[in-house]
Structure formats: C-alpha cells, structure tokens
Chains A and B, each alone.
Chain A
Amino acid sequence: MRNPSETSPKARPEAPEGGPAGTVPAAASVPRPRAPRETVVPSPPAAPPGTVRLAAGGLSVLVSRGPLLAGVALTAVLVAVVAVCLSVGDVAVAPLDALRAAVLGTGSPRDLLVVTELRMPRVEAGVAVGAALGAAGCLMQTLSGNRLATPDTVGLNNGATAFAVAGVVAGPTSVLPPATALTGAATAAALTLALSGGVGQRGYRFLVVGLGVGAVFGAATNLILSRAEIDAANAAFAWTVGTLNGRSQPAVTVLEVGLLVCLPLAVVLARGLNALRFSDAVATVLGERVRPLRVAVLLTSVVCAGLAVAVAGPVGMIALAAPEAARRLTGPGPVPVLTSALAGAVLTLSADLVGRTVMAPLEIPVGLVTAVVGGPYLLWLLLTTRTRRTP
C-alpha cells in the first residue's frame, strides 16, 4: 500500500517518452495537486487538477504541473548557461556556434577545437558535479527534515576531501580519487550519524556534530598536506578549494555513471520520502519500511556527494541552495530531486563562469565563489528560520 499523496502515479518531471497529450484547462487554476483518493485510471483520459497526463501508446503517466514546468524552465536555463560557458573565454565563440559545435560537431576548426576539446570537458564536469550536489542536498535535507543539513554542512565533503588528499599524497595513482573520496564521505556520514545519535532526532544537533566531524577531517587534511612532499601537496591542493579547472576525466566518467544509477534511484526513493515527512509511526502505517528507506536515501546522497568531491573538491553551498531553488520553483508536492539536480547544475556552472570571468585572466576557484556568494544566504537562512519544535 502506498501513501495517499501518491495516489496519482507520478513519473519524473520531464518524462521523455511521448509528448504532452492531454491537459485539463478547467482545473488549471487549482494550485495544489490534490489527487482524489481513488485514481484508478479514469476511463476518459482526464487528469486530476494540477497535473498533466503524458500518454504514449497504451501507457500514460500523470506528472504534477509544477515540477514539469520547473523542469522545462530549468533545462532551458541550463542550455543557455552551457552555451555561454562554451562561448566565453580568451577566444570568444558565438553562443549558437558553440552549441552547434558541441552538439553536432560542426563549425570552423578553431571553434571545434576550443569548444569540444578545451571547454566542453569543464562544462561537463560542472554539470555533473552540480547535479550530484543538488540531488544529494535535496535527499539529505528531506531525510533530516532540516533544510540546512547538506553534505557540506554535516562534514561529508570534508571527509571526502581528506581521503582524496590522502590518496593523492600517498602516491600510487592506482587508487583513483573517486574510490578514496567515496570512502571518506561514507566514513564521515557514519561518524556524524553515530555521534549525533540519528538524523533529525534533535534538530540542529546533527548539524553541529557534523561541524565537529568536518573540523576533524579538515585538520586531518591540513596534517596530511603539511607532511607531504611539496609536489604531492601541490597536486592535492586542488581538492581543498573546489575547482573545475583541469579535472581528471576518469573521475568525471565515474561520476556520470554514478549519476545514471543514483538519479533514477533517488526519484524512486523520493516517493517514499514523502511519507517520512510524518512521524515514523505514520510512515510505517502508510507502508514504508522506514529504516531501510533512511539507509538507502543516505547512501544515495553519500555516493552523489563523494563522487562530486572526487571530481571538483568541496564546492559548498550548491547542495544547500539548489534544492531550495527547486522547491521555490516546483511549489508544494513531491520531493523535487530531479529539479534540484538541474538547479545544482545551473548554479555550479554560473558560479564557475563568474569565477572565470570577473577577474580574468586570474581565475577564482568555483568553491570560493560559492562560499563568498552563498555565505550571506546561509546566514540569512540560519538567523531567520524559526525552529520547528517537533516532538
């Protein structure tokens, strides 16, 4: 049995197969998707208020209108930002030419070289890192019922960084950063979880314990760097600030594979997360197995965050801001995992663009840009949100 908010069978916001078939103009003014209790595929293809029915052949799915629109809008923005990222730099390329070169592989040899060889890998890394951080942040925020709980605030990023730096300094390149970063993120997650006595039990305690765990791993990173040979330390330094410059292609590939697995999984898990908004008892009655669900959600976000750090190092604030933006755009309803991923990609690329251009030819690492720009926002969130005293 599924929970009531799910009686409308949802699919991912931008389900690719088929085009939008039937909409319900009459009910479009109703903002909230409140599906009637028995939506056993009504025989005339009418979608419940606030949703859109996508049909292809005999199959059809209902998609909430908010996430769909937000997804389409964010995709458009993402394409625009990618075009700008591909076109801006020492050698300017017209945005449309850049897109054509990237997608179709046509254009002047110079454009092709600049776009596909030089800028495309960086944009690719930025999109993947941003999407992973956005999705990880969304999952963790929902899991802990606290929108400040993100991989960077609970020490995951620091743990992943410490292990990645240790792996690089230790020398043999046989150990890939993704493996070490993933181990680090998992270790930090386990430590924070164990030391704070569970997610969401005592409001902000989870976060401050995460802060402590993060401080230890940060100190460990410095310790490793202070011991390392100067060359190894320089090689590892990139991981301590968060940058998209010259990232290793294998790590990006691993991240992309991870995203292919994690994002669909996250969408499936997000359905169950809807039920976790209530107390555990209610969620259990609604048919969710609470503990396995929690573990699965946590693991998914650890994998996303760890692989992202393996590519770019700790890029803060994306995991915090992207889900927030996604929720604003989609409105109330299901947990917006995919929208968060899209928003994360847009934010990361934009921050990198800013870092690349404002002080050109000097380049500010994307992690510093997000910290400086996102800091005031985080402060504002912290100081204005009222603590909800939930039992």
Chain B
Amino acid sequence: MTFRNVLLRGLLPAAGLLAVTAVAGLLVGAGDVGPARAAAVLLGGDDPDARFTVLHLRLPRTAVGIAVGAALGVAGAVLQATARNPLAEPGLLGVSAGASFAVVLAIVLGASATTVGPYVAVLGAAVGCLLALGAARLRGAGDDPVRLVLAGAAFSGMVGAASSVLLLVNQRASDEIRFWTVGSVVGRGTEELLAVLPVLLVGVAAAVAVSPALSALTLGDDVATGLGHRPHRVRAVAVASVALLVGGATAVAGPVAFVGLVVPFAARALVGPDLRRLLAVSVLLGPSVVLLADVVSRLVVRPYEMPLGVMTALFGAPVLVAVVRSSRLPAL
C-alpha cells in the first residue's frame, strides 16, 4: 500500500471523523443548550449560559476525550503487536484493572483523589501489563489468543473485586472514587489533562520509536535478533509505552474498556497490518471512537448521562464477538 493510499483510505477518513465528532462533542449535550445555541457561541455569540456550557464544560471534556482516546487506541495497537494477539486490549487483559486498583489502593492508604498523580496508575498498569504479557508468553496458554483474554478477564474480575472490598472497608475512599470507577470523562478539566499530558506524550513517543522493531519481532525472536533488534529491550519499551498510555488514560477517565480493541480492529481494516500505519491511524481513530461514545452517552438517556465505560462496552462487545467469530483470527 503506497503512502497515497494510506492517506486516502486511512488518515483522511479518520481525521474527518475526528473533526465531526469533536464538533458534535461541543454542540450536543444532555442539558438544554442545544446545537443551535452552542453553534452561536462558537461563532462568537454572547449567550452567557451557552457560553459557560460550551467553553467550560464541553470543551475540556472534549479535550480529555481526545487525549484518552488517542492513548487507548495507540496502547491497544502496541499491546496487540507485542502479545501477537488481535484480542489483546488493555481493558480485556487487565491492564486498566491494574491501574485502577493501584489508584484505589493509594487512596485507601491515605492519598486523596485530587492529589494522587498519574504515576500511581502508571505503576499499576505496568504491573498489569507485565502479568498479561508474561501469560502471553507461557507455552500453551499464550498461543491461544482467546484463552489469554479469558485469563485477563479473570484477573480483572479478581482485582476489581479486591478494589470493591477495599472501598467497602474505607468509606472515605468510596465517596471520593465512586464517580471514577466506571470510566467517565464528565467533570474532568484542563488541570487533570495537563497533569497527564506529559505522560501520554512520552507514551506515544515510545510507541512510535519502538514500532519498527516491534514489527520485526512479529517474525519471531530469532529473525528479529538477526535483523539487529534486541527482543527483550523492545518488549520492555513496549510495556513501558502501554503502561504510560493506559495509566495516564485511567488516571483521567477511569477504566474505559474495548477502545483498544475496536480502534486497531478498524484501523487494520482500513490500512492493513503494518504497525506504523496502524499507529498513525489509531491516533486519529481512538479520539473519534471515544468522542462518539461520549456524545451518544449524552443522548440515549437524556436528561441523564451514561458513563463512558458503559457506552464503550456496548460498542465494543459486538466487535469482540465479530473478531472471535471471524473464521481465522487475523494473524499478527
């Protein structure tokens, strides 16, 4: 596939979708500031209510959605390449669960939800990621993509239950964190975003830097060594990248599952399996998927809103079924 094809079939549609969803994220809401009033604000109107809603509520939320989506999309693509498993997804493999457990633990031990930085979540994500990839390299279990997902689900369930027990025991933590454990971009603002932005940027940079070596690794460790790569070091960078991205995203928005599955799946359908093209498209598609889910979540249960994590599960589970059902799992 030539660069021109990648541009036409992958990058441009993804960018277009991102633009549309971003505008929709600013225009559409559960409250009574409708698209018309919001559009007027964007064009320079001075309706104070609408102005506040659009500029102080929807704009930061959309920015957070873009950052989280890009992080999770890229993390999914890197994790799938590293585990050589089209079902490897941070949420399904327990990476997000590790991150949220770390945050819960930190808060129970005395940190407050506002001061606990993204690094706690990154640490938890790193542990989850190491466990998942360790399991992926086990003989027998790792060869079977589907079984790895089940192990991830088991791990997530266990860690999630442990979090629930901690929250049950500690009422203060429970109050601080209740809003956060389902995955949501509501009420997250510029401050939280700026705190994690460096983490996410480093994560993306690491993903881009390691992608050629990671592609080589899919040929097998021996071939990759012959080509001059060092498999262990490559995997270490990949783990670090996934941990930074998922930890950062989880610190802002809580655990949001299935984005890392849906985005690389769609990107692969658009531009094929090459990791560098996948990353380029995923960076644009991830935010689109998250924003789309966020906009829909504001509309389906008006005047309430639905947590983002719930919405992505509704989107993502059918994709999971589709991937599992496809007669031959796409080779990685």
Contacts and interface: CB of A to CB of B under 8 A. Distances in A.
Interface string B153-172: 11101111110110011000
A197 B325 contact: yes
Nearest to A381: B154
Contacts of A118: none
A383 B313 contact: no
Given A362-B168, A379-B155, A153 B150 contact: yes
Interface residues of A, number: 43
A64 to B, nearest CB: 32
Contacts of A387: 140, 144, 147
B257 interface: yes
Contacts of B149: 208, 211
A210 B265 CA distance: 20
Contacts of A223: 300-301, 306, 310, 314
Contacts, number: 126
B155 A375 contact: yes
Contact of A362 (B154, B169, B305, B306): B169
B222 to A, nearest CB: 25
Interface in B80-109: 87
A382 B151 contact: yes
A220 B300 CA distance: 12
Interface string B305-326: 1110111011011101100110
A386 interface: yes
Nearest to B131: A379
B141 interface: yes
B304 interface: yes
B155 A209 contact: no
Interface in A351-391: 359, 362, 364, 367-368, 371-372, 374-376, 378-379, 382-387
A383 B93 CA distance: 13
A364 B165 CA distance: 7
Contact of A208 (B141, B258, B320): B320
A23 B300 CA distance: 68
Contacts of A203: 144, 146
Given A359-B169, A378-B154, A387-B144, A205 B310 contact: no
A179 interface: no
A368 to B, nearest CB: 5
A379 B140 contact: no
Contacts of B155: 375, 379
A257 interface: no
Contacts of A226: 301, 304-307, 310
A212 B317 contact: yes
A28 to B, nearest CB: 38
Contacts of A212: 317-318, 320-321, 324
Contact of A211 (B162, B169, B306, B320): B320
B182 interface: yes
Nearest to B312: A219
Contacts of B320: 208, 211-212, 215
A265 interface: no
B216 interface: no
| Chain B, interface residues (CB within 8 Å), range | 35 or more
B144 A379 contact: no
B240 to A, nearest CB: 24
B135 interface: yes
Given A227-B304, A371-B161, A215 B151 contact: no
Nearest to B138: A383
B245 to A, nearest CB: 22
Given A204-B150, A222-B310, A383 B157 contact: no
Max chain B CB contacts within 10 Å: which of A376, A379, A387?
A379
A196 B325 contact: yes
Interface in A34-82: none
A382 B147 CA distance: 7
B166 to A, nearest CB: 10
A353 to B, nearest CB: 16
A384 B139 CA distance: 9
Nearest to A204: B146
A13 to B, nearest CB: 31
Nearest to A386: B140
A219 B141 CA distance: 28
A52 B36 CA distance: 82
Interface in B145-198: 146-147, 149-151, 153-155, 157-162, 164-165, 168-169, 182
B317 A368 contact: no
B310 A382 contact: no
Interface in A123-179: 148, 153
A254 interface: no
A205 B159 CA distance: 24
Nearest to B91: A215
Interface string A212-230: 1101101110110011000
B146 A208 contact: yes
B313 A371 contact: no
A88 interface: no
17 contacts: A153-B150, A196-B324, A204-B144, A207-B146, A209-B324, A209-B325, A215-B258, A215-B317, A216-B314, A222-B309, A223-B310, A241-B164, A368-B168, A379-B158, A382-B141, A384-B140, A387-B140
Interface of B: 87, 135, 138, 140-141, 144, 146-147, 149-151, 153-155, 157-162, 164-165, 168-169, 182, 257-258, 300-301, 304-307, 309-311, 313-314, 316-318, 320-321, 324-325
Given A215-B313, A219-B314, A384-B140, 17 more contacts: A153-B150, A195-B321, A203-B146, A205-B324, A211-B153, A216-B313, A216-B317, A219-B317, A227-B304, A368-B164, A371-B161, A372-B162, A375-B157, A379-B158, A382-B151, A383-B135, A387-B140
6 A-B pairs closest in CB distance: A375-B158, A371-B161, A219-B313, A212-B317, A204-B146, A212-B320
